[in-house]
Every structure is written in structure tokens, then in C-alpha cells.
Amino acid sequence: MKPWKGNSVVVAEYVTTRKPCIIVTFPKRGLHKQETKNKIQAFEAMMKFDHPHIRKIYEVVRGNNEIHLVVEQTDAELVDYMHEKSKMKGDIAGKVAAQLLSVMCYVHSLGEVHGRLRPDCIGFQTVPETEVNVKVSAFFSNEWTKNEELSIFEAPEVRSQHITPASDIWSCGVLLYYVLIGKLPYKTVDEVGRAKLAFERCVSPEAVILIKAMLMSRPEDRPDASSCLASPWIRSYTRNSLKSREVHQHLRNLCAQVDVNSLRKAVWYFIVDRIVPQGEIAQVAKTFVTLDTNADGLLSKEELLTGLRVYMTETAAQTEVERILASACSTDVVDYSAFVVAALGCKVLLSDENLKAAFRSLDADDSGRISLNELKKVFRVETGDRDEAVWRGLLEQVDTSGDGEIDEKEFRNLMRLTAEQP
């Protein structure tokens, strides 16, 4: 991740789990108290984005003079890649385009916009020549960037502070031109929308048609993210087979998950975020993207059925989907994080190594026991519930000794339960 202007970036890892991460520091200097509060709230809102191609924010830490973001680490950055390679091969660019547009489709479906999509917002979980796995970061609202200098990557209407989903489509178009050609479509901001676009012969006609449409001067003339994903060029990179060993295993694990109590489920999410290697999560993400045919970042009942029908009868598939949705506390959809937790399966999540690392992480004072305050501190975002009675009720379900804390044996018993505790 490249540093944003005025901010520092440090590669780090969690002490107790050794999982790599990146810490981005934003200074509070020059900000009023309310401005600082707004920025923290904006970052905490970003944590709720839940998509396989969005760089995850693990924590927002408030310091005396800075705000620290702990975010997902990636293996490569687009800026570095382009500096080394100068441009991308057409098939790699096509896969990048498909994943980038799936992010826009998801974000726009939530009624949000990125607004400032640039090369330094894009990383790769692996080196693109090995396997394309885009990670998009930096979802900033207007208040974050009102003093920043605009560039060719921002649509013409952004200059008048008019930002819509169509503005993101423009940015995607500039980025795709940049990676395919190796230079920007316009030399200066004044040329934006006026200079004629020039493409090399090696760029496919389908890509040329789409990029030209994305770079139309008037926002209303640009296709939306869903239409871009349905274009001939992008569609050729979104046809993934459901008939693979990995998809089958992930669906089997999804079907095997049973109802669990809230605390156990919260710890599962914690293990995925802080402990499970990104490579294992990436395999599940591929399955999720394959099932998510409309690219809205959610698996609908019909999308789940489509996947399960490949491996079981219609009647069995219908039964399993109803049970999966009931377990997810939803009658409509399964989100990305819930799918990852279920599809990884208990064998991965509840290994001795993972349980030991999770307990050490939750036991912040290294006392050998997890207190109520330690739980509340870690799961303030995951549970979203600060009611004391609720917290004590969760603790009592696990604390079989009645001493008001959770020891390692009680923790392991909790995590290895196969059903909801009464």
C-alpha cells in the first residue's frame, strides 16, 4: 500500500498470531475535534464493506495525535507493478477489470461511491502473473478529499463536487486504459473529455468499445457497473466453473455448519481476520465470486441453489439452502464474511494452533483468562451490542466454573461445541 499524502505506512504483524498486516497512520494535526470524530466514524463505516476484492480494515486505533488503521496486507501494488512492467497483458487486464467492476457493483448497490479511485488504491493479493486477486482500498467521502488536487482519474463532474456512481465508472475507465496502454488517456486535466482516445492494435475491439463508453464526458452516457460486467470483454473473464474440488468442499462445509451461540460465532470471525492465512481465504473467495453471479457481494437463495444443484438433487438443495439461510439469521442472502467462516470449515478454523493463537490474542493481559472487559474491547465492532446484561449472558454460557472469566479449557469447549448451547 502506498502512503496517502501526509500519512505513513508500516508493514507489521499481530504479535500473538503472526498474521501480517499494514498500519496506516493519519495525523490529527490541524483538525478540529468534530473533524477528527467524523474521520474516525468514516473509517469505522469502511470496516463494514464486505467483499472479496475490498482490502479489509481490521481495526481503527485512536492515538493522542494520530488515527491508526490496521489493514489487510497485499503482496503487490498496482503502482509498483506498472513501474516495473509498464503495462499489462490483455488477459490480466481483463481479469483486473472484472474484479474491479464487481467492487463497484457491490459499492453502488449499497448506495455508496468510491469517489477517488486511483492506482494507489489498488493492490493484489498475489502477483498478477500468478493469479489475479485485486484488493481495492481507500473509500473516502468528499470531506476527506475536498482539499486534494484532482487528477485525470477523477471524472469531469467531480470538479464541481458532483460525485455519483458514474464518476467511479470514469475512474475505472481511466485505470483500464492506463494498464492496457501503459500511459494515461489524457496528458493534462484540461484535455479530459476533449482529446481523442488512442488505442494500440493489440487491445481487443471489445475492450476498446467498453473503455470508450466508460469515458464518455456526460455521466448519464456511461454504462453502470452491472452493464460493464455484462459487456463481451468482461464476460469472458467471469465464466467460472462450479465443478471443481474446491467449490465442492466449500459447499460441503457450508452445508455442515450448524447454529452456534453469538460469542462462538464472533470468535470464528476473529480467527478468520487475525489468524487464517490470506492464501486459504483467497481460495474460498474464488468460490464466493463464482457463486455470486450478479456481483452484488451477496449470495441469494437462487445463487446458492445453482451451486448446490451441481452436487445434489433439487429436493436436497432446497432443504440445504433453507437451513443455511436460517443458520445465517437471514431468509434472503449470505454475505461474504459469513460464507468464508462457514466454507473454511471447522477443521481449519478450530485447529489446535488456531485456538491457541485466538485465546492468546483475546487474553490481552496474559493472565491465562479472558475477562468480560477483554471480550468487550475486541468485539465492540463485531457484535455491535454494548448492553451489559447481554455481555454477561454471553459470558455465563461459557464460564462453567462461575469465576466470571473464561479459562483456556472453557474457551476450547465453547469453540468445539457442535450446536447452540441451551
For residue 28, the model assigns a pLDDT of 82
pLDDT exceeds 50 at position 5: no
Type of residue found at 117: L
- If one counts every other C-beta atom within 10 angstroms of the C-beta of residue 93, the result is 25
Q: What are phi and psi of 24, to 5 degrees?
A: -110, 125
Q: Which residues pair with 134 in a beta bridge?
A: 124
Element at 13 (helix H, strand E) = strand 8-13
pLDDT exceeds 60 at position 173: yes
User: Which of 51-60, 103-112, 413-422 is predicted with the least confidence, judged by mean pLDDT?
Assistant: 413-422
Element at 70 (helix H, strand E) = strand 66-72
Residues 392, 375 contacting (CB under 8 angstroms): no
For residue 236, the model assigns a pLDDT of 86
Report percent pLDDT > 70 for the chain: 89
Work out the average pLDDT over 3-8: 54
For residue 33, the model assigns a pLDDT of 84
What are the pLDDT digits (tens) for 51-82?
A: 999 999 988 888 888 888 899 998 899 999 99
pLDDT exceeds 70 at position 260: no
Residue 86 banded pLDDT, cuts 50, 70, 90: very high
Work out the average pLDDT over 141-153: 59
User: Which of 280-284, 337-341, 382-386 is predicted with the least confidence, judged by mean pLDDT?
Assistant: 382-386
What are the pLDDT digits (tens) for 207-255?
A: 999 999 999 989 999 999 999 999 999 998 887 778 888 899 999 988 8
The boundaries of every CATH 1.10.510.10 domain in the chain are: 76-235
8-72 to CATH, choices 1.10.580.10, 3.40.50.2300, 3.30.200.20, 3.90.1150.10: 3.30.200.20
- Classify domain 76-235 at the CATH superfamily level: Transferase(Phosphotransferase) domain 1 (1.10.510.10)
What are the pLDDT digits (tens) for 123-138?
A: 999 888 888 999 998 6
CATH fold of the domain at 245-415 = Recoverin; domain 1 (1.10.238)
Averaged confidence pLDDT in the chain: 85
Q: Indicate the pTM of the whole model.
A: 0.86
For residue 79, the model assigns a pLDDT of 92
Q: pLDDT: is 298 or 384 the higher one?
A: 298
Work out the average pLDDT over 134-149: 62
Q: Tell me the C-alpha to C-alpha distance, in Å, between residue 32 and each of 28, 69, 325, 343.
A: 8, 20, 45, 45
The boundaries of every CATH 3.30.200.20 domain in the chain are: 8-72
The boundaries of every CATH 1.10.238.10 domain in the chain are: 245-415
For residue 51, the model assigns a pLDDT of 94
For residue 139, the model assigns a pLDDT of 60
